[in-house]
Structure 1
Amino acid sequence: GHWGEYFDPPLEHNGKMFRAKGFIVDVLVGKALEFIETNREKPFFCYIPLTTPHSPFSVPDEHWNKFKDSPVTMRGEEGDKEDLAVTHTVLAMMDNIDVNVGRVLKKLDDLKLSENTIVVYFSDNGPNSFRWNGGMKGKKGVTDEGGVRSVLFMRWPGKIKQDTLITPIAGAIDLLPTLTALAGVKPVSTKPLDGLDLSPLLLGGEWKRGPRELINYNGGKLSVRTQTHRLDASGGLFDMIADPNQTKNIAAEQPELAAKLTATATAWHQEVFGKPYVAKAAGGKGKGQGKEKGKKPGAEPFMDDRPYPVGYTEFPITMLEARDGIPHGEAKHSSGAPNCSYFV
């Protein structure tokens, strides 16, 4: 995601750059439909990561015209910071996404693949602008509920019953073990998986797992979520059942639970980064968006000296984009937000 151009965007396909024609989401879904058509006679995995709703806030007129003059009745927690033009564009982008999801589902219907295809629709994080977020604290860039909680819908006609609601907390780390189990495929991995296989819950089977803890980490700030509570990046503890908007810190009232979750955060950070986690000072109301530059007050720099492999042997070329790099010395990104930028 995060392309700087949404109309006739520059894209890469199998190691070669080209400029597409049309709106980015329409283009990506169009290529996905071609892939599905080509592989209709054999099992396939088709991942379609859309770039919207996200900046740059531009969208085809056919969608914009539906919302440009509509009243925004559901406002963000910090309404004075909300840019209604941005919110209108986001609504139009969602309308475009809705149309494109419909294109995918129609293609599966037309090819008579719907009954034997698992469809998953999910998002990655909270909103990246000040807009309605269900009253949850935070948005994209923070590890509070509003920054990390997102939707996930799954469809498998005849297998997953309609209106099935999964109540145990889950995360993106559960997708690999869950989908491979549903598809009857054994994961190929030399490393242990932190995620859980949720297929028993989806198929109406027995769930034998006990309570779990999920880790959220971004920009040096770490949070721990249980089924009922969240320990935030500053060490505050919140009852997510009685206080889902995180308005009352109860760490002093439940010191044992706070200490337990703090130990979880410390152990995770030690295992992943090789050093213990130090809680960060609370940053005001925690409603803002962190910037991924490693310069936030209290945040540790985005630096990890451990080597890691890049690319895949199947691809002839691996592109290392400037937006993912860390500038040193006098070098800097061409844009305040490094998305689709270059070094100057």
Structure 2
Amino acid sequence: MNRRDFLKAVGLGAAAMALPGCASAGQATGEAAKRKPNFVFILIDDMGWMDAGCYGSKYYETPNIDKLAKEGILFTDAYAANPLCSPTRASILTGKYPARLKITTPAGHLPKLPAERPLLAKQGPLWQRIITPVSRRYLPLQEYTIAEALKEAGYKTGFIGKWHLGKDSMYWPDNQGFDVNVGGAGNPGPPSYHSPYRLNNLKDGPKGEYITDRLTDEAVKYIESNRKNPFLLFLWHFGVHGPWGHKEEVTKRYANKKDPRGKQNNPIMASMLKSIDESVGRVMDKLDELKLNENTIVIFFSDNGGNTHSRIGPDELAPTNNYPLRGGKATIYEGGTREPLIVRWPGVVKRGSRCSEVVSSVDFYPTILEMSGVKPKPEQKLDGESIVPLLKQSGKLKRKAIFCHFPHNTPATGNIAGTYVRSGDWKLIRFYYKGKGGKHRYELYNLDEDISETNNLAVKYPQKVKQLDELIEGHLKKTGALVPIPNPRYDPNAKPTEKQPRTNRKQRPQRRNTR
């Protein structure tokens, strides 16, 4: 499908595509406040690009998220730095690519690896042709997080919700720059969405209390308590991640609802997103009530693409559908990393704006620094670039490309270890050692003409492949990325043993979620 035609069909085209960068549907009202701005960063888990009304969904009901888009700027080409949660979260907190951090899978709930175990083995079992890296399982304390930067600048800092960046409490938000931590621990998801939650660092509420509501309660309390101070609040919801707890009374409303697009059909996901949307509305109402709305910047984002491979509910339906994007969570096609992004910055961002410039989760750190007037440390290495020029519509970004490095096979989704680069409308994917003769395999797409990634142009445009692959190689070297390597011990006649089972064969879609 042609990208322009699709964006126009879902109502994103007129503004987003009127100019090659950002375009507005209204004018800014007033000057930005002189006091340091507050920040509320709302991160949703596993919410896909098509999972809100303002992005084209005709099934999910998200009036508060849609209202946020009308009051701010909506990005059509925003990307998570990884198709899974922990790496993207780390990129937001540090402004660095997961490849540089060596956090490339969501392993933040597992014990630290022994110090003597390398993240990339030099050799593997005889049957294994390619050796893939393993991921670091925590966010190192040496990293200077955005919370630490703003805390040093006089901000109050609060974290509420899902962390998933270290099993040991020494790596939790309390030790990463946040004054307040409610729920932030190693858990990838709550054992239960209803109290008792059985979660680290979150006390159980009344029996049956819903966790999305509870986290919102905590966020509202935090805003109330810090209304007289500049604050940074991260409200990082567990929803809409597995185990897909939902409010039965809300879910019933969607039992007979049909999607006119014929794509999204899961009442459980609709119910969970409805609760998320109500959370957004409650937070915005509290800011209005306390007259903080004009001096509070709100960022709304998702950590990876919508889950299309799990099966949930009595009808065993996929949680969501990302069409027209290909793939979903745990894949490096567009459905795995293209995300909803809305930024509300009263007095600066023009209401109802749309932007088609390419941005990444590594950009949040330098953006928040510039918004707050805080300078990065001279020795600080940031991979991201401030998107303030896009928000102000005063210029474009300097960089030429963004990257996603995901050197892991994910059997549940059929994903092969790979790296991609997005430069302008072009996207090149390098799949490691999956081509003819054991070489890399390449897929090249023009996303403006083929948003669904159905027409591989790699053979037609070999020079473009070469040019973009050089960018990939430069990125890997610059970040010190760990990449798959051939196994020097490989024997094509060897068979897996019971102690070393083959893990890269395709499997039927799993019912439990890839974390």
TM-score (norm 2): 0.50
Query: 1:215-254 alignment to 2 at 5 Å?
Result: 215-217=404-406, 219=408, 220-234=417-431, 235-254=442-461
| Structure 1 residue 275 displacement after superposition | 5.3
Query: 1:1-344 alignment to 2 at 5 Å?
Result: 1=162, 2-8=189-195, 9-13=197-201, 18-21=203-206, 22-76=209-263, 84=265, 87-129=266-308, 130=318, 131-188=320-377, 190-207=379-396, 209=398, 211-217=400-406, 219=408, 220-234=417-431, 235-273=442-480, 295-296=503-504
| Structure 1 residue 222 displacement after superposition | 1.6
Verify the 8 A CA contact 2:371 2:388 in the aligned structure 1: yes
- Cα distance change, pair 180–259 in 1 and its aligned pair in 2 (3 A): same
| Structure 1 residue 167 displacement after superposition | 1.9
Verify the 8 A CA contact 2:300 2:342 in the aligned structure 1: yes
Moved more, 43-52 or 258-267: 258-267
Higher relative contact order (CA 8 A, sep 6+): 2
Verify the 8 A CA contact 1:53 1:94 in the aligned structure 2: yes
Verify the 8 A CA contact 1:141 1:218 in the aligned structure 2: no
Return the letter of the residue paired with 1:249. N
Verify the 8 A CA contact 1:54 1:90 in the aligned structure 2: no
User: Hey, what's the Cα distance between the residues in 1 that align with 2:200 and 2:482?
Assistant: 38
SS class of match (1:154): strand
User: Hey, what's the Cα distance between the residues in 1 that align with 2:377 and 2:248?
Assistant: 45
Return the letter of the residue paired with 2:467. K
Verify the 8 A CA contact 1:236 1:250 in the aligned structure 2: yes
Verify the 8 A CA contact 1:11 1:20 in the aligned structure 2: no
- Cα distance change, pair 143–185 in 1 and its aligned pair in 2 (3 A): same
User: Hey, what's the Cα distance between the residues in 2 that align with 1:211 and 1:222?
Assistant: 16
SS class of match (1:151): strand
| Structure 1 residue 183 displacement after superposition | 1.8
Verify the 8 A CA contact 1:137 1:245 in the aligned structure 2: yes
Verify the 8 A CA contact 1:75 1:132 in the aligned structure 2: no
| Structure 1 residue 270 displacement after superposition | 3.8
- Cα distance change, pair 208–27 in 1 and its aligned pair in 2 (3 A): closer
Return the letter of the residue paired with 2:382. L
| Structure 1 residue 296 displacement after superposition | 3.1
| Structure 1 residue 47 displacement after superposition | 0.4
1:37-74 superposed Cα distances (whole Å, 9 cap, x missing partner)? 11110000000111112221221134212212222433
| Structure 1 residue 277 displacement after superposition | 5.8
| Structure 1 residue 96 displacement after superposition | 0.8
Return the letter of the residue paired with 2:214. V
Percent of aligned positions with the same letter in both sequences? 27
Cα root mean square deviation, aligned:
2.7
SS class of match (2:214): helix
SS class of match (2:299): strand
Verify the 8 A CA contact 2:191 2:199 in the aligned structure 1: no
| Structure 1 residue 205 displacement after superposition | 1.4
Structure 2 stretches lacking a partner, 5+ long = 1-161, 163-188, 309-317, 409-416, 432-441, 487-500
| Structure 1 residue 250 displacement after superposition | 0.6
Verify the 8 A CA contact 2:242 2:512 in the aligned structure 1: no
1:200-257 superposed Cα distances (whole Å, 9 cap, x missing partner)? 1111212362532333426232221122111124311111111111111111111111
| Structure 1 residue 338 displacement after superposition | 7.6
User: Hey, what's the Cα distance between the residues in 2 that align with 1:217 and 1:91?
Assistant: 29
User: Hey, what's the Cα distance between the residues in 2 that align with 1:336 and 1:119?
Assistant: 32
User: Hey, what's the Cα distance between the residues in 2 that align with 1:10 and 1:150?
Assistant: 30
Verify the 8 A CA contact 1:119 1:155 in the aligned structure 2: yes
Verify the 8 A CA contact 1:74 1:132 in the aligned structure 2: no
Verify the 8 A CA contact 1:270 1:276 in the aligned structure 2: no
SS class of match (2:268): helix
SS class of match (2:343): strand
SS class of match (1:236): strand
- Cα distance change, pair 275–180 in 1 and its aligned pair in 2 (3 A): closer
User: Hey, what's the Cα distance between the residues in 2 that align with 1:139 and 1:94?
Assistant: 17
1:99-141 superposed Cα distances (whole Å, 9 cap, x missing partner)? 1100000000011000000001111221112432131111000
Verify the 8 A CA contact 2:198 2:204 in the aligned structure 1: yes
- Cα distance change, pair 267–119 in 1 and its aligned pair in 2 (3 A): same
SS class of match (1:120): strand
Verify the 8 A CA contact 2:387 2:397 in the aligned structure 1: no
- Cα distance change, pair 210–180 in 1 and its aligned pair in 2 (3 A): closer
| Structure 1 residue 266 displacement after superposition | 2.7
1:75-94 superposed Cα distances (whole Å, 9 cap, x missing partner)? 44xxxxx8x5xx11111111
| Structure 1 residue 166 displacement after superposition | 2.0
Structure 1 stretches lacking a partner, 5+ long = 77-81, 280-292, 299-334, 340-344
Return the letter of the residue paired with 1:141. A
- Cα distance change, pair 338–297 in 1 and its aligned pair in 2 (3 A): closer
User: Hey, what's the Cα distance between the residues in 1 that align with 2:396 and 2:331?
Assistant: 31
- Which one has the bigger strand percentage? 2
